[in-house]
Chain A
């Protein structure tokens, strides 16, 4: 069954069943996959649960670029990274969880840095609603408590 497959290629199957053929060097940028390959517990099709085809394609795109451009200028890679992570909140969330789950360090770094830039100047109120999905009740009570508990302001 592996005869049709080129050497050093792996098949990754997303949660919704789509398959991606990727070079092994690219796939092992995910530590989780690397461990599976090293322990030889993986047949040449590796299931990637919790990650759908859309997101998996993005992760692979990112890993491929990073694999190719190792010799390239670091500044080029930086521009690619910043463009790559410039996405909507939903995709960003899915990417972060995927990167964390599959343990792709470079991607996680780039994504977290991006989110950090995004929220750097935001107000506490904004963070609560946008980031933590707080409800009004919780905001009211915790505000009340914080007004009592915090008399220090660093701004």
Chain B
């Protein structure tokens, strides 16, 4: 049976890109297998960036949870009946185990997480299940009383993701001032584009570790700290663009005594400071007058409340005793339990992330797909060379199958489609050639000549199957 050609004409590539960049990641992952050109479009880092800007603010955030067995779960809480899905990262398994201790940061769909088994940082994309191990910072301090704080952020100026690490000798926290006794803080920055750490000018603030991770908002990573000159508590913002620290004042209640207990958070796009049963929200970024307090009425039998995220209309998503998600309305002080299918019995909230195609691997360099293509190209090269050497010796009289490299391969397909039942037919080999990008010119001709021989075709297809490419 022959499929009828659809009446719907084929759209130009630019319009297909326009349409595809409005689709959710799940659909796009599936549509990678529609055709070669769709796959390379969807895998393209530039497309990932366009897709992110196009869908940002339109796609709901997802919640990330760490179960008590240290497995990551993702929850889409915006739908009527939320479901918690386990997220596994196949490539982490090569080096370590897929178990996670802590989420250290989240930015543009990427999540920085601490692996439980090898105590290394990994950059993850929970939507595409891609992961990348981040090497240890050579500038980080390793002694027992050293503290390392880190944060993940995106620098739009250099179009680069950066991981910032602050290292200092804790020497214990001074009981009276709450300040760390050692003032020397080393700041190192990891750039995802250059795959390397570099040391920059140190921080003059006294950092203290309430929580080891900084939060990303508006191109800056935020921590709570103290000025070293007058010991006043401030929120420091590390600007990823020009790599300097800025500061602004926290809500009035924050003083040195309570400082180590708190850490800033980003809830619903606002910089927030959850404090016991209050949540301070900075309504206007950078304006200390805009700190607004929301109070949460806690039931007496509840021992622990964590604010997970800010919903619309003054509603908060809370986690109660690390075992139940609760939607709390701060206006009428009502709360209702959120029923999530498949949620682990006990969990820690790791904050939220947005869905994106942005790959921790493919920021700049070549991705896994390209790597596979490269590998296959090398195999092909070796085969062609061997074949050439063989034919030179026997100097066959076979008429060369000459095809202009520029001519569309559809002609060839047409002429060979009769043999499409054969597993190693010429047309299938040609489809492979289309797949392995950058095969062109004389090399393409040589490959075609080699594919004339059914034995070599069979060998090539077998090799491709055996290597499995990915």
- Chain A residues within 8 Å of B, Cβ to Cβ: 89-90, 93, 96-97, 100, 108, 112-113, 115-116, 119-121, 123-124, 127-137, 139-142, 144-146, 148-152, 154-155
In angstroms, how far is the closest chain A Cβ from the Cβ of B462?
Answer: 11
Q: How long is the Cα–Cα vector from A128 to B36 in the complex, in angstroms?
A: 12
A131 contact set on B, CB distance < 8 A: 6, 8, 11, 34
Contacts of B6 in A (CB 8 A): 129-131, 133
B455 contacts the other chain (Cβ, under 8 Å)? no
| One of B3, B90, B464, B469 near A129 (C-beta < 8 A) | B3
Contact call A135/B5, Cβ cutoff below 8 A: yes
Counting residue pairs across A and B whose Cβ atoms lie within 8 Å, the total is: 107
Are A141 and B15 within 8 A (Cβ)? no
A148-B468, A148-B469, A151-B468 are known contacts. Are A90 and B420 too (CB-CB below 8 A)? no
Provide the residues of chain A in CB contact with B14, threshold 8 Å: 100
CB atoms of A133 and B9 under 8 A apart:
yes
Closest CB-CB distance, B353 to chain A, in whole Å?
Answer: 16
Q: Is the CB of A90 within 8 A of B7?
A: yes
Q: Is the CB of B8 within 8 A of A149?
A: no
Complex Cα distance, B104 from A137, in Å, reads: 49
Please name 6 further chain A to chain B contacts, defined as beta carbons within 8 Å, in addition to the given A119-B23, A131-B11, A132-B35, sorted by A numbering. A90-B8, A112-B15, A130-B6, A132-B10, A137-B413, A149-B372
Residue in contact with B11 in the complex, picked from A93, A148, A150, CB distance below 8 Å: A93
Nearest chain-A residue to B26 (Cβ)?
A154
Q: Do A148 and B465 touch across chains, with their CB atoms under 8 A apart? A: yes
B23→A116 contact, CB < 8 A: yes
**In the complex, per-residue mask of B1-45: 1 if CB is within 8 Å of any chain A CB, else 0:** 111011111111011001110111011011111111000000000
With A116-B19, A120-B23, A128-B34: A150-B470 Cβ-Cβ less than 8 Å:
yes
**B interface, how many residues as a size bin?**
35 or more
Interface of B is mostly: loop
**Residues in A whose Cβ lies below 8 Å from that of B5:** 133, 135
Task: Name the contact of B22 in the complex, choosing from A93, A112, A150 (C-beta under 8 A).
Answer: A112
Is B470 in contact with A142, judged by CB distance below 8 angstroms? Answer: no
Q: A112-B15, A116-B23 are in contact. Are A142 and B36 (CB under 8 A)?
A: yes
Check if B431 is an interface residue, CB within 8 A of chain A.
yes
List B contacts of A149 (CB < 8 A): 372, 435, 469-470
- Residues of chain B contacted by A93 (CB below 8 angstroms): 8-9, 11
Residue of B2, B9, B19, B20 with most partner-chain A CB within 10 A: B19
Whether the Cβ atoms of A89 and B31 lie closer than 8 Å is no
Nearest CB of A to B254, in Å: 39
The proximity string for B residues 426-470 relative to A, scoring 1 for CB distances below 8 Å and 0 otherwise, is 011001100100000000000000000000000000001100111
Given contacts A148-B465, A151-B470, contact A96 B431 (CB under 8 A): no
A-B contact pairs, 24 of them (CB 8 A): A89-B8, A90-B8, A97-B11, A116-B19, A116-B20, A120-B24, A120-B27, A124-B30, A124-B31, A127-B31, A132-B34, A133-B5, A133-B9, A134-B35, A135-B2, A139-B3, A141-B428, A145-B431, A145-B435, A148-B464, A148-B468, A148-B469, A151-B470, A154-B26
Residue B128 CB within 8 A of the other chain: yes
B128 x A121 contact (CB < 8 A): no
Q: How far is the CB of A56 from chain B (nearest CB, A)?
A: 19
Alpha-carbon distance A154/B29, docked complex (angstroms): 7
B417 within 8 A of A: yes
The smallest C-beta distance from A103 to any residue of chain B, in angstroms, reads: 12
B378 interface residue (CB < 8 Å to A): no
How would residues 269 to 288 of chain B score, 1 for a CB under 8 Å from any chain A CB and 0 otherwise? Answer: 00000000000000000000
For residue B129, CB closer than 8 A to chain A, the reply is yes
B431–A141 CB distance below 8 A:
yes
Q: How many angstroms between the C-alpha atoms of A135 and B23 in the bound complex?
A: 25
> Across the interface, do B420 and A137 meet the contact criterion of CB distance under 8 Å?
yes
Chain B residues contacting A113 (CB-CB under 8 Å) are 22
